[in-house]
Amino acid sequence: EGVLPQDYTLIKMEVVPPFPPKLGALEGKRVYLAAATLRPETMYGQTNAWVLAEGNYGAYEINETDVFIVTERAALNLAYQNLSRVPEKPTCLVELVGQDLIGLPLRSPLSFNEFIYTLPMMNVLTDKGTGIVTSVPSDSPDDYMTMHDLKTKPALRAKFGVKDEWILPFEVVPIINIPEFGDKSAEKVCMDLKIKSQNEKEKLAEAKRLTYLKGFTEGTMQVGEYAGWRVQDAKPLIRSKLLENGQAVSYSE
Ligand code: A2H
């Protein structure tokens, strides 16, 4: 953990009813996977959500109607940030593991894809954010390589019970242009660094460093309400609107 608090935007990715049997107890509630991101301006390019298949999660009451699926650690932090039905005390309605969430269809704010699916990623940490990550393969090297792994390796899909239709139709959506890297910066940098899979953590860290910095300082929005704007100018406005519309909440740790 760093010394300074990290300010995340939690994106409310709505689980589309009807719910599978494991989520049966949540019938009638509005249930969200709450994904922690530092890049709210990239939400147009979402293609899926990531969970750790063997990670522990729970469905926690946020208020009378809304339920967030997150790690227990995140639920406790949320409870101390006024995001729990009972103040300062998380209430878990259902205990889950990541594998239970794989295949859940989601509706996520700003995404050009009307429905996206929950998929497994090995590099999801359960001691950071909420343990739920939204995936933007145009701008995140981790997201790009994990999507690439699942698309190109049928055995990997089979291992986690991932159906072809949850992944094969989902293409990279160009949303931000970076002069040096074009409008699919994650793919370009992963190719340049010859990254072969999500297992190459050191190379991925370098790819992340390159794209994250340049995306912010030199990126231009290509889509949405702020098309043509610099990323650094659009980012706070897109974040505020998501918060105002009730499509996201702020979260720090
Ligand atoms: B970012 P920091 Cl387009 N485990 O969101 C692994 N990764 C996690 C996580 C967890 N538990 N929680 C959040 N993250 C990811 C978008 C994005 C992100 C883009 C480009 C770069 C990027 C779409 N995925 O992050 O360690 C989330 O992915 C690069 C830094 O707290 C979150 O933002 O600095 C970012 O890592 C938070 O990382």
What is the chain's mean pLDDT, rounded? 97
Structure tokens at 196: 């072969």
38 Cα: distance to centroid of ligand 1 (angstroms): 6
With tokens 């010394």, the residue in question is: 3
Q: Which atom of ligand 1 is nearest to the CA of 138?
A: 3
pLDDT at 145: 98
pLDDT band of 3, cuts 50, 70, 90: confident
**Length of the chain (residues):** 253
Query: Which residues have C-beta atoms less than 6 Å from ligand 1?
Result: 6, 36-39, 42, 123-125, 128-129, 131, 133-136, 139-140, 143, 208, 212
- Look-up of token digits 């926690």: 60
Cis before 169? omega within 30: no
* Separation of CA 28 and ligand 1 centre (Å): 31
CA of 27 to the centre of ligand 1 (A): 30
Mutate to test the pocket of ligand 1, among 39, 57, 172, 242 (most ligand atoms within 8 A of CB): 39
Tell me which residue has its CA closest to atom 32 in ligand 1.
37
Q: Give pLDDT tens digits for 118-137.
A: 999 999 999 999 999 999 99
Q: Binning pLDDT at 50, 70 and 90, where does residue 75 land? A: very high
* pLDDT tens-digit series, residues 23-68: 999 999 999 999 999 999 999 999 999 999 999 999 999 999 999 9
Q: Is the pLDDT of residue 1 over 60?
A: no
The alpha carbon of 25 and the centre of ligand 1 are apart by a number of angstroms equal to: 30
User: What does the pLDDT look like over 155-200, one tens digit per residue?
Assistant: 999 999 999 999 999 999 999 999 999 999 999 999 999 999 999 9
Summarize the confidence of residues 213-232 as an average pLDDT.
Answer: 96
Task: Say what the pLDDT of residue 4 is.
Answer: 82
Contact 235, 40 (CB under 8 A): yes
What average pLDDT does this structure show over 3-27? 94
| Whole-angstrom distance, CA of residue 74 vs CA of residue 58 | 10
- Confidence at residue 2, expressed as pLDDT on a 0 to 100 scale: 62
- Residue 5: per-residue pLDDT: 86
Beta bridge partners of 15: 106
